[in-house]
């Protein structure tokens, strides 16, 4: 993957299509004879190269939506037959990678969700797929891509869409092993949904997301839990205002404890520029909309 990433476009671009075909043949071979490949690292390298090829081919189109859609379609035509077999056979060693590549392709394709992915959506939510812990990160990323690209399409197809996804996230958040993934799925819902659709589920989302915070209070939570919680709160406040937290928490004292404790401690630790920007926007809204935060501050 490193060599492919570092190679100049003039050298590697003409070979990307043929390289993808070769990698696909390897995936087919491993799928047909799973016991013949004992190296998990080799499998990972195959799929890392596939992901890199997808990113490079899409990036080379220079933002031309029609060209990007064509490249994604060509890639799906090569990969999807074996991907479908892997998903049908529940090949656990390969499914996690397949789901990540599918999410990448869905994110890369301009426009609405294609009919291919619409037909796959119910299978993505099938409980048997979520029972395998290795699938969870890929499934969460894939669901986030669905929500970002076509929430209205999905709602037109299934009026219970939000409840079904909340139920999945609730199950994930209930297990220490998948708790972070549950919070990430809540973040996807908060980013994609209008407040009207989100409001009935706010108490559950906040209760499950903040249980780790409340359990460790007043000590700061472990970093791997703190940042996803901060991301969720930043999205909720930045998009919908501090009133959403007041409404969902139904506990003013807890809100103030979060604002003056967890929020103040965690915001400076955010390293990602995108996350930091979301945190600053949410902090600004919070200071403007909730005067009680600074009402008792001493003015110099």
227-237 pLDDT per residue, tens: 888 999 999 99
pLDDT tens figures, 198-219: 999 999 999 888 887 765 555 5
Q: Residues 49-70: what's their mean pLDDT? A: 91
Q: Residues 271-277: what's their mean pLDDT? A: 87
Examine the pLDDT at 297 and tell me if it is beyond 50.
no
Helix (H) or strand (E) holding 106: helix 92-108
Examine the pLDDT at 162 and tell me if it is beyond 80.
yes
pLDDT averaged over the chain? 86
pTM of the model: 0.85
Q: Residues 145-151: what's their mean pLDDT? A: 91
Examine the pLDDT at 85 and tell me if it is beyond 80.
yes
Examine the pLDDT at 17 and tell me if it is beyond 80.
yes
Q: Is 255 exposed, middle or buried (0-12, 13-18, 19+ CB in 10 A)?
A: buried
Between CA 278 and CA 284 the distance in angstroms is 10
Residue 231 is encoded by which pair of tokens? Answer: 């991301």
What pLDDT score was predicted for residue 10?
58
Per-residue confidence band for 185, with pLDDT thresholds at 50, 70 and 90: very high
The residue whose two tokens read 């070979």 is 15
What pLDDT score was predicted for residue 223?
63
- Is the Cβ–Cβ distance between 139 and 99 less than 8 Å? yes
Examine the pLDDT at 54 and tell me if it is beyond 50.
yes
Between CA 257 and CA 33 the distance in angstroms is 56
Of the candidates 55, 82, 85, 83, the one whose C-alpha atom is nearest the C-alpha of residue 71 is 55
């Amino acid at each position: 993957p490193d060599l492919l990433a570092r190679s100049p476009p003039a050298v590697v671009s003409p070979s990307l299509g043929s390289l993808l075909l070769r990698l696909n043949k390897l995936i087919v071979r491993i799928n047909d004879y799973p016991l013949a490949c004992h190296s998990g690292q080799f499998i990972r390298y195959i799929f890392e190269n596939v992901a890199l090829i997808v990113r490079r081919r899409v990036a080379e189109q220079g933002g031309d939506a029609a060209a990007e859609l064509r490249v994604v379609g060509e890639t799906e035509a090569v990969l999807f037959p074996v991907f479908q077999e892997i998903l049908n056979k529940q090949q656990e060693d390969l499914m996690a990678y397949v789901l990540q590549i599918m999410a990448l392709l869905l994110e890369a394709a301009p426009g609405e969700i294609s009919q291919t992915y619409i037909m796959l959506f119910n299978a993505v939510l099938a409980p048997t797929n979520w029972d395998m812990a290795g699938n969870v990160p890929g499934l969460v990323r894939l669901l986030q891509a669905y929500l970002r690209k076509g929430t209205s399409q999905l709602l037109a197809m299934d009026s219970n869409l939000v409840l079904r996804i909340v139920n999945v996230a609730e199950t994930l958040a209930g297990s220490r092993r998948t708790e972070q993934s549950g919070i990430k799925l809540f973040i996807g819902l908060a980013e994609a949904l209008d407040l009207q659709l989100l409001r009935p589920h706010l108490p559950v989302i906040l209760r499950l997301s903040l249980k780790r915070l409340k359990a460790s209070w007043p000590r700061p939570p472990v970093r791997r839990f703190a940042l996803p919680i901060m991301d969720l709160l930043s999205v909720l406040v930045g998009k919908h205002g501090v009133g959403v937290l007041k409404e969902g928490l139904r506990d003013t004292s807890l809100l103030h404890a979060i604002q003056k404790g967890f929020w103040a401690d965690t915001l400076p630790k955010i390293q990602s520029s995108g996350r930091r920007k979301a945190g600053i926007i949410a902090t600004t809204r919070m200071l403007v909309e909730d005067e009680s935060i600074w009402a008792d501050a001493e003015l110099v």
